[in-house]
């Protein structure tokens, strides 16, 4: 690319021989005279034309490396960004990440969204997609197991499970149990602790787990049951206080991946799914607090 650009510039410079143009002087006051304006516009047109050629070449060049459209549950977006960076460096392919709640991505996949791969936050939706023939049979696997954390932005607020039991004011944020797997898990935790009925008046629901975290991080909700991976996320630099919810209090949040029909002909899509099982990818996931199935 760099060479082509230099070439394009050289060509445009040749087209305007009357001004001794040095690259980078386009905006300088030197070329603001009446004569300058005329030559300036010729120069711009030439330059634009050259750029268009470069862009076209660029587009066709990128068609040789493959793009993979990855639909990803919002809780896994940041670790995936890190994994994607390494994957792209290793293979030269490009990952295009689309994030939303698992429920939304599922509905979009069913209605013909151009996704090659789905990384869901549960096992339910990938199983459904497999049964409905939208996912490719036999490509489904658990790429990570998520954990739930009771978190507050206030560093002194949470003292273990008691903070939930004693809650009598403020808001407790959870993700929507109907659409978000971490919301479902949060519901199970409250039910198994026998607190669902008592805490219901304090509940606010995030549309997905990212919005749930945002409710707590902004202080709009004092407490929140969020994904451990979010609290561990180095980009967020979250402090506050937390209680790690025992895994016995909810069904494991098995996050499953599946190849979609759309990606069947895409070699890079299959390669990427295999890459998710690599130790390089697992190290990144682990740093976010995800667990794995014992093999």
Which residues in this chain contact other proteins in the complex, by CB under 8 A? 101, 103-104, 107, 169-171, 173, 176, 178-179, 203-207, 215, 218-221
Total residue length of the chain: 295
Nearest distance, CB of residue 111 and other proteins, angstroms: 10
How is residue 204 written in tokens? Answer: 């606010």
Residue closer to other proteins (CB basis): 8 or 173:
173
Kind and range of the H or E element at 197? helix 196-199
HSE-CB at 193 with a 13 A cutoff on CA atoms is 23
Q: Please, which residue, 54 or 203, has the CB nearer to other proteins?
A: 203
Residue 2 or 201 with smaller CB distance to other proteins: 201
Q: Give, in degrees to the nearest 5, the angle at Cα 66 between 90 and 292.
A: 55
For residue 228, count CB atoms less than 10 angstroms from its CB and return exposed for 0-12, middle for 13-18, buried for 19 or more.
buried
Q: Least distance to other proteins from the beta carbon of 99, Å? A: 15
- Sorted by sequence, the CB contacts under 8 Å of residue 64 that are 6+ apart come out as none
CB of 182 to other proteins, least distance (A): 15
CB closer to other proteins, 111 vs 237: 111
Q: What residues contact 30, with CB distance under 8 A and at least 6 apart?
A: 36
Other CB atoms within 10 A of residue 133 CB: 9
Percent helix, percent strand, percent coil in the chain, to nearest 5: 50, 20, 35
Q: Which is nearer to other proteins, 101 or 163 (CB)?
A: 101
When the beta carbons of 78 and 179 are compared against other proteins, the nearer one is: 179
Nearer to other proteins, 95 or 105 (CB): 105
Tokens 């299959």 map to which residue? 270
CB of 177 to other proteins, least distance (A): 10
In angstroms, what is the minimal distance from the CB of 125 to other proteins? Answer: 11
Q: How far is the CB of 257 from other proteins (least distance, A)?
A: 21
CB of 103 to other proteins, least distance (A): 5
When the beta carbons of 168 and 295 are compared against other proteins, the nearer one is: 168
Are 241 and 156 in contact by the 8 Å Cβ rule? The answer is yes
Each residue of 238-252: b (16+ CB within 10 Å) or e?
Answer: bebbbbebeeebbee
Strands 241-244 and 67-73, how do they pair? unpaired
Question: Minimum distance between the CB of residue 218 and other proteins, rounded to whole angstroms?
Answer: 6
């Amino acid at each position: 690319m760099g060479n082509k650009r230099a070439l394009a510039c050289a060509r445009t410079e040749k087209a305007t021989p009357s001004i001794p143009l040095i690259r980078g002087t386009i905006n300088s006051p030197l070329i603001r005279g009446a004569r300058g304006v005329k030559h300036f516009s010729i120069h711009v047109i030439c330059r634009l034309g050259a750029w268009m050629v470069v862009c076209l070449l660029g587009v066709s060049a990128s068609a040789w490396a493959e793009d993979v459209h990855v639909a990803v549950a919002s809780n896994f977006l940041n670790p995936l960004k890190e994994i994607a960076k390494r994957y792209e460096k290793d293979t030269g392919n490009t990952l295009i990440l689309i994030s939303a709640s698992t429920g939304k991505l599922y509905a979009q996949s069913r209605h013909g969204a151009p996704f090659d791969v789905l990384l869901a936050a549960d096992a339910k939706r990938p199983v459904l997609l497999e049964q409905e023939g939208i996912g490719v049979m036999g490509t489904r696997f658990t790429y990570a197991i998520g954990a739930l954390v009771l978190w507050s932005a206030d560093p002194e607020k949470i003292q273990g499970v008691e903070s939930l039991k004693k809650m009598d004011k403020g808001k407790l944020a959870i993700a929507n149990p109907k659409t978000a797997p971490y919301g479902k898990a949060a519901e199970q935790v409250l039910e198994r602790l026998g607190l669902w009925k008592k805490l219901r008046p304090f509940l606010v629901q995030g549309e997905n787990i990212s919005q749930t975290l945002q409710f707590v991080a902004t202080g709009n909700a004092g407490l929140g049951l969020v994904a451990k991976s979010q609290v561990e996320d180095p980009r967020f630099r979250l402090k506050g206080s937390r209680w790690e919810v025992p895994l016995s209090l909810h069904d494991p949040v098995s996050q499953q991946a599946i190849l979609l029909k759309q990606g069947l002909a895409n070699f890079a899509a299959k390669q990427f799914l295999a890459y998710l099982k690599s130790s390089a990818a697992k190290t990144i996931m682990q740093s976010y607090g995800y667990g794995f199935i014992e093999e």
